[in-house]
Amino acid sequence: MIIQCSKLLVLLLITQFSFAAFKTTVLTRNKEMDLVKKEVVFKDIDNLGKLEDKSFKIVRAKSEKPIILSELNDDLEKMRAASVYFHLKKAKKYFLDVVKSKYVSELGQITIRLGITNQFNSIGHFAHDNLAPEYNNALSIPPGEGRARFGIDPWQHEIWFRPAKEVNLPSEGLKNDFEQTAALFSEFRTQSRFANFQRFVADLFLLSGDELVDSGLSILGSTAIIEASFIAMKHIYGLLQGKSYLLDTSFIPEIVYHEFAHIALSDKLTLSHSSPVNEGMADFFAASIANSSTLADKVKDYAKRVREKDAFREQTYQSGFESNAYANIDFVLGVLWQVRELDEQKSHSYIYNIRNNLTSSSNIRGDLVKSILKECRRSCKSPLSGRIKLLNAYHEMGL
């Protein structure tokens, strides 16, 4: 009996230990796309809230030690770290359960650096602290071998989130007017002569190249995602936003999804090179993981507008879209979205599979479209009519 009792005790202890979990608050979106606080329980971490499991380790800047949530006094910082972890888990689950990615199932632990300003150096890992610190942005880092002789350890995949920094826009900037900011995005989407959102904003506010980088507006991505990001800032920073720009990327679910998607695609689309096709693919998955009808409507609306023949004719494909300087990520996302229009359920693995025939230097008109049509043979319910529908849509888009 005594033996049995102690067995039970051991069992109880083991059960308690292995089910250690941590309860905390994260920032996430509700159905209306508004950012809301939500109580969650993290089951894969210990009861001190040490943010490390087999998939992710969340650290501050250049540290290798995981953040321990119970040790953080600042509620905002606590929520930041917890939210990033929460949305990364969601993104990974999507690639495992919905996309069924073998590559993602074999990925090792990814280190997430919060509040890091160093530039990335492919040999030294971190560029020197004093070398042009970066703000208002996020990026995915490919693994590196390090340099033992210089004490630089090898590293695996990483995602870096820059700190948010207020950047004043020139006098004609957006003054406390969120409607105006929202109008900017819709204006851009309905105009045809501006191929690139960043260029559009730079021209509008007469920003220099450096100011554009500082503003965080230089991030590549479709306007649907950038818009979602800016609207999110209003919820976090309230009235502060509008007088100037800042972008707290770690609090924006779609940016977290976008960066994880880059890594999920990185067996074929390398992280060291950014291209319109790369960015459009990452945004397709960011929008799919977010699974928001508001976001989907924006993408759909853009794609439909492009296909309408007369009024917006000049918005169809232009060869300039192939280069980064004029990259129109909305256009690439619109191309990919046609597959979703065809069959939403299948579109997740369908779009993931097309990366097999792509590289980071693939172009839109040739490679991307060819790859989409080729995959239809495998993934479309009826390959022939599927391809006819896609061909028609792409024809209307000027491809």
Nearer to Zn ion, 52 or 254 (CB): 254
Contact segment (CB under 5 A) with Zn ion among 190-198, 205-213, 274-282, 388-396 equals 274-282
| 295 φ/ψ angles, rounded to the nearest 5 degrees | -65, -45
CB of 163 to Zn ion, least distance (A): 18
Nearer to Zn ion, 280 or 334 (CB): 280
Instruction: Name all contacts of 115-122 with Cβ < 8 Å and 24+ positions apart.
Output: 115/60, 115/61, 115/161, 115/162, 115/163, 116/61, 116/62, 116/160, 116/161, 116/162, 116/163, 117/61, 117/162, 117/163, 118/61, 118/62, 120/160, 122/272
Nearer to Zn ion, 134 or 279 (CB): 279
How many positions of this chain bind Zn ion (CB under 5 A)? 2
Task: Name which of residues 275 to 334 contact Zn ion (CB under 5 A).
Answer: 279, 282
CB of 198 to Zn ion, least distance (A): 13
Nearer to Zn ion, 268 or 389 (CB): 268
CB of 265 to Zn ion, least distance (A): 10
CB of 271 to Zn ion, least distance (A): 9
Helix spans in the chain (H): 2-18, 75-97, 102-105, 178-190, 197-204, 209-215, 223-237, 253-264, 276-290, 293-307, 329-342, 344-354, 369-379, 383-396
Nearer to Zn ion, 279 or 322 (CB): 279
Nearer to Zn ion, 226 or 354 (CB): 226
CB atoms within 10 A of CB 396: 16
CB of 138 to Zn ion, least distance (A): 8
Instruction: Name all contacts of 2-8 with Cβ < 8 Å and 24+ positions apart.
Output: none
CB of 371 to Zn ion, least distance (A): 19
Contact segment (CB under 5 A) with Zn ion among 188-196, 227-235, 273-281, 335-343 equals 273-281
Residue ranges binding Zn ion (CB under 5 A): 279, 282
